[in-house]
Amino acid sequence: MAVPRMLWGKYFRYERAGEAVLLDPVGLDSVFIDSGEVRDLAGVPPTATHEALAGLGFTPGGPAADRREALHDRLRHLGLDAVPRRISGLRVVLTDRCNMACTYCFVDTNTGKPDMTEDELSDGLEFLFEQNAGQEEVSVQWFGGEPTIRFDLMRYGDRLADTLADRYGVARVRRTVVTNGARLTDEVLDHLVAYEYGVGISVDGPPGINSANRLLLGGRPADDRIRRNVARLVEAEGLHVGCNLTPTAANIGRLAETVRWIVDDLGLKFVYVNTPIPTAGRWQVKGADLAKELYEARLAALGRGGMLFSVLDRAFQALDTRRPMLFDHMQGDRSLNAALLPGNRVSLCDINFTEPSFLHTLDELRADPGLLAGVAKEVAPVPECGDCPALAVCGGPSRNEQALVGGDTPDPEMCAFYTSTLEIAVWDDTGVQ
């Protein structure tokens, strides 16, 4: 995608077939001008288009501002702060044991390290609820490895969570589990239904795609088993069942097809596409291609009565609400989902369980809540961010991405991804989205 030109030194100007969209990269206002207005804008000012644009706040005047500084000012003005207020959710890593051996998993599985103990789980949940006393909701997500391998801990934790919610006046516990779906006993299914779980099934696509990276430990594919178990989950009353889809070399180029299969064949109406993580030090997929594919896949899902969510949505949300959408891993109320790990440790980043700067004990976090700043995003860390139209949608690499790529400079494919998502979103103001 071409880099948009600038208008009056402060607006990005996207052009297509004689029409244009002007974007204020800090305020996130955008305006569509048709081909006649594009021609009028090239005339000697003030033309009718100049005046109409001025009425919408698009003017050539005003002091030239450093866009990174301007973004920081806007974040302050909107009360948007990168530092989390508290931990409101825990991804509980019960075990690193897994019955599958997916090639791209960001977790080191089947290492032989000990599982979480009941005492560690109790301590972690106690911390979560005490930190959220009187709040509307906390979230608990069982994670692994394959968390259902330690169903005993899930059951223990769910009962304890109810007790703790009463004790600390927490109105609701949102429970989710991330599973590969390859094993589902009746006992587990009954439990998930009883607690009205949200169940996220990790699937990459139809068997030919899924088995490229996702095989059982013995090397066989698990697709038939997964399909049967997904059907049981979908048929169960009261469960919210969705799919966690990871873009890989096997499904890039076929994401829309993959999503059609997930909705039509698996019967899953809710698809969440994981954001690429540069675990090997760089993005493994082409950013511009991924943006386009996500867009097509989202429309494929919507066209079938399904829903697809991904980081692409950030661009649409930012433009539609005129609010920067650049904080990763944080909820809208500035609370954080962290990961509870075996050994009474917490990772402030729920997709990185090993980076030392994210790891703290429960006692350390109790004693110094300021430690949460360790995961706070450093907004627009490099000067190049100031020249980027996606400044307020991307905001630069997260602390996790910085740790994985080894510096402040974002992966070029990440930049390509966010600039592409923005270009897609500026042109799509249709009723489809």
- Least spacing, CB of residue 296 vs another protein, in Å: 5
One character per residue 2-41, x = contact with another protein (rule: CB under 8 A)? --------------xxxx---------xxxxxxx-x----
Give whole-number Cα distances, 365 to 128, 165, 201, 338, in Å: 11, 20, 31, 12
Question: Among candidates 302, 398, 385, which has minimal Cα distance to 357?
Answer: 398
Q: Which stretch binds another protein (CB under 8 A): 74-82, 319-327, 353-361, 366-374?
A: 319-327
Q: Given the complex with another protein, which of 212 and 307 has the nearer CB atom?
A: 307
Q: What is the dihedral of CA 232, 235, 236, 238, to 10 degrees?
A: 140
Q: State which of positions 280-309 bind another protein (CB under 8 A).
A: 292, 295-296, 299-300, 302-303, 305, 307, 309
Q: Given the complex with another protein, which of 257 and 320 has the nearer CB atom?
A: 320
**Which residues, including other chains, have CB under 8 Å from residue 344's CB and lie 6 or more apart?**
120, 123, 124, 361, 362
How many CA atoms lie within 13 Å of 24's alpha carbon, on the beta-carbon side? 20
**Single residue of 110, 122, 317, 361 touching another protein by CB under 8 A:** 317
- Least spacing, CB of residue 357 vs another protein, in Å: 30
Query: With binding defined as CB under 8 A, does residue 162 bind another protein?
Result: no
Q: Given the complex with another protein, which of 154 and 291 has the nearer CB atom?
A: 291
Q: Given the complex with another protein, which of 145 and 242 has the nearer CB atom?
A: 242
Buried b (16+ CB within 10 A) or exposed e, 211-231: bbbbbbeeeebbbebbbebbe
Take residue 354 and report the two structure tokens written for it: 């090993």
Q: Given the complex with another protein, which of 5 and 240 has the nearer CB atom?
A: 240
Q: What is the dihedral of CA 17, 19, 22, 28, to 10 degrees?
A: -80
Give whole-number Cα distances, 293 to 168, 274, 382, in Å: 44, 13, 28
Pairing of the two strands 11-16 and 5-7: antiparallel
SS3 for 416?
helix
Q: Given the complex with another protein, which of 312 and 404 has the nearer CB atom?
A: 312
Phi, psi for residue 395 in degrees, rounded to 5: 75, 10
Q: Which stretch binds another protein (CB under 8 A): 80-88, 93-101, 107-115, 315-323?
A: 315-323
Query: With binding defined as CB under 8 A, does residue 431 bind another protein?
Result: yes
**Residues in binding contact with another protein, number by CB under 8 A:** 42
Residues contributing to the site for another protein (CB under 8 A)? 16-19, 29-35, 37, 49, 52-53, 56, 58, 292, 295-296, 299-300, 302-303, 305, 307, 309, 313, 316-317, 319-322, 424, 427-433
